[in-house]
Amino acid sequence: MGTGRLWGVGLGPGDPELVTVKAARLVERADVVAYHSARHGRSIARSVAEPYLRAGQIEEALVYPVTTETTAHPGGYRGAIEDFYADCAGRLAAHLEAGRDVVVLCEGDPFFYGSYMHMHKRLAHRYPTEVVPGVTSVSAAAATLGRPLVERDEVLTVLPGTLAPDELARRLAGTDSAAILKLGRTFGAVRDALAEAGRLDEAWYVERATTDRERAVPLSDVDPATVPYFSLAMLPSRVAAAPVVARPAPATATGEVIVVGLGPAGREWTTPEAQSALAAADDLVGYGPYLDRVPPNPRQRRHPSDNREEAARAAYALDLAASGARVAVVSSGDPGVFAMASAVLEVAAEPRFAGVPVRIVPGLTAAQAVASRAGAPLGHDYCVLSLSDRLKPWDVIVERLTAAARADLVIAIYNPASRSRTWQVEKARDLLLEHRAPDTPVVVGRDVGGPAEDVRVVRLADLDPAGIDMRCLLIVGSSTTRVAGSAVFTPRRYP
């Protein structure tokens, strides 16, 4: 059958919602669930895990024979505890030998003063074992106080309250921040050590952090008779406690314009630099559908406009920056390829915007995105052309397309068609056929990276203008471009 697996599972500081997803899954699936308790039988660990237990699981209650009381065991307290651990390990080993997976529950983290470690030392070398960390009581107490533990170069010292008072005072005097665990009966000595170290006024007491019985008060106000074991003392960060002196803002402020390339589709196509620039912006300016690709943030102002208003959009962004705003002008693909970068820089060159900084953040452009889906059609020399005649005359497009075709360049064609431009693709195809073979492969990429992505390869002679729109990009191969199976590539060596 094989042996079972031993899991030491940290359950966090007490709130069942602070149990990790992995811990909850393991507890629910375990064949055997083991937990420690005092002789009263109540287990904090089990109470935390209870929402994740299921009917029919085997429970092993590991009940300590002694806690703080005396014992008649011949080996004294230590001997009684060692025998107890050996017995518990034997009970769990029986389950593991039978092929049952065993989860040992532990409050906080199993390796941070955790009861589980005594089973680990006795069983981990014999059976497959994994330890699942948990949120510690120290982290929970800091969160409860709302005070950082350490900042910058501060040193945190974790101490057991069972140390001799003189040693405890010495260590407290020599550290920045501290957490003192194992209180209960040791509380009076801990308070005396804090006073001797001159730290009592800084100390806080936190009891049952994150539970519905949570309590956090200055340690000097605590009655020792009320202190349970499930508590700790804390000296939070001294640096964090110091007030922050606000610096006056400059009398005048100049913002900047950052032209950001979003890439061709979703967030995974946007570079970390672009995401950082978008996150830091006060204002977002751009064509409406492109702005819609940026997750909304109520701190930011959004200024959508029509796609044909590039100069006005650029001037508006520069005006905002001149008044001190950090403005991100968004652009699909790469802002320097048939997009907003040149429009912004052209307007920024006007004397009225002198001194307004403009920065360009690149993005993945559509040519590279479509090429990657097809293979490597841009593997050798290529050029990039736009078929849009809105900003340049058609006869210029014809001259450039002809020159590229004669030069045997692979051609990436942007803006091939729109609702108002329906004839350019057919004209471009016929012109290219004067210089390229009918079998020349053409990659037609539409909405690459988006939900309607479609990439297909056709012969140049079979290129159908009816299936081409503004969301398409065409890559027309050269004389050396090849189709091998489903891949299109242009060899790097030219014959």
Residue 414 has pLDDT above 80, yes or no: yes
What is the pLDDT at residue 174? 94
Give the integer Cα–Cα distance in Å for 301 and 459: 47
**SS3 state at 156:** strand
Give the integer Cα–Cα distance in Å for 86 and 81: 9
In this structure, of 117-126, 270-279, 301-310, 319-328, the range with the lowest mean pLDDT score is 301-310
When comparing pLDDT for 493 and 69, which is higher? Answer: 493
What is the pLDDT at residue 135? 97
Give the integer Cα–Cα distance in Å for 233 and 191: 9
Give the integer Cα–Cα distance in Å for 34 and 369: 54
What is the pLDDT at residue 267? 86
pTM: 0.65
Q: pLDDT digits over 363-393, tens only?
A: 999 999 999 999 999 999 999 999 998 889 9
69-80: b (≥16 Cβ within 10 Å) or e: eeeebeeeeeeb
Four-point Cα dihedral 188, 193, 195, 197, nearest 10: -170
The owner of tokens 């508006």 is: 316
How many C-beta atoms surround the C-beta of residue 242 within 10 A? 9
As a whole-number percent, the residues of the chain with pLDDT over 70 amount to 96
Degrees to nearest 5, angle at CA 458 with 455 and 460: 130
pLDDT band per the 50, 70, 90 thresholds, residue 127: very high
**SS3 state at 267:** helix
What is the pLDDT at residue 230? 87
Identify whether the C-beta of residue 157 lies closer than 8 Å to the C-beta of residue 34.
no
- Edge-to-edge strands, sheet with 32-37: 58-63, 32-37, 102-106, 6-10, 129-132
**Which residue spans of the chain are classified as CATH 3.40.1010.10?**
6-135, 256-364
With CA atoms as reference, report the closest residue to 111 among 180, 183, 34, 9.
9
192: CB partners within 8 A, 6+ apart: 165, 169
CATH architecture of the domain formed by 138-240: 2-Layer Sandwich (3.30)
CA of residue 296 relative to chain centroid, distance: 18
Identify whether the C-beta of residue 34 lies closer than 8 Å to the C-beta of residue 43.
no
pLDDT band per the 50, 70, 90 thresholds, residue 244: low
Q: Percentages helix, strand, coil for the chain, rounded to the nearest 5?
A: 35, 25, 40
Instruction: Tell the CATH superfamily of the 256-364 domain.
Output: Tetrapyrrole methylase, N-terminal domain (3.40.1010.10)
Give the integer Cα–Cα distance in Å for 295 and 306: 19
- C-alpha distances (whole Å) from 296 to each of 113, 289, 293, 353 are 45, 13, 9, 29
188: CB partners within 8 A, 6+ apart: 224
As a whole-number percent, the residues of the chain with pLDDT over 90 amount to 82
What is the pLDDT at residue 189? 96
What is the pLDDT at residue 1? 52
Q: pLDDT digits over 434-493, tens only?
A: 999 999 999 999 999 888 899 999 999 999 998 898 889 999 999 999 999 989 999 998
pLDDT band per the 50, 70, 90 thresholds, residue 74: confident
What is the pLDDT at residue 23? 98
pLDDT band per the 50, 70, 90 thresholds, residue 268: confident
What is the pLDDT at residue 275? 94
The owner of tokens 């044909």 is: 308
Residues in the chain: 495
What is the pLDDT at residue 69? 62
Degrees to nearest 5, angle at CA 281 with 276 and 284: 115
- C-alpha distances (whole Å) from 356 to each of 286, 319, 346, 418 are 18, 9, 13, 35
Identify whether the C-beta of residue 356 lies closer than 8 Å to the C-beta of residue 326.
no
pLDDT band per the 50, 70, 90 thresholds, residue 248: low
Residue 245 has pLDDT above 70, yes or no: no
Assess if CATH 2.30.110.10 describes domain 6-135. no
Give the integer Cα–Cα distance in Å for 182 and 231: 7
Identify whether the C-beta of residue 405 lies closer than 8 Å to the C-beta of residue 432.
yes
Q: pLDDT digits over 322-343, tens only?
A: 999 999 999 999 999 999 999 9
Query: Please, how many CA atoms are within 13 Å of residue 472, restricted to the half-sphere of its CB?
Result: 24
Rg (C-alpha) for the chain, rounded Å, is 35
Residue 153 has pLDDT above 90, yes or no: yes
Residue 66 has pLDDT above 80, yes or no: no
What is the pLDDT at residue 352? 94
Residue 253 has pLDDT above 60, yes or no: no
With CA atoms as reference, report the closest residue to 284 among 337, 353, 340, 336.
340
**SS3 state at 54:** coil
Please report which helix (H) or strand (E) contains residue 315, including its range.
helix 310-322
Please provide the CATH number assigned to the domain covering 367-489: 3.30.950.10
- How much is the mean pLDDT over the chain? 92
**Which residue spans of the chain are classified as CATH 3.30.950.10?**
138-240, 367-489
CA of residue 51 relative to chain centroid, distance: 28
The tokens for 486 are: 């489903």
What is the pLDDT at residue 68? 64
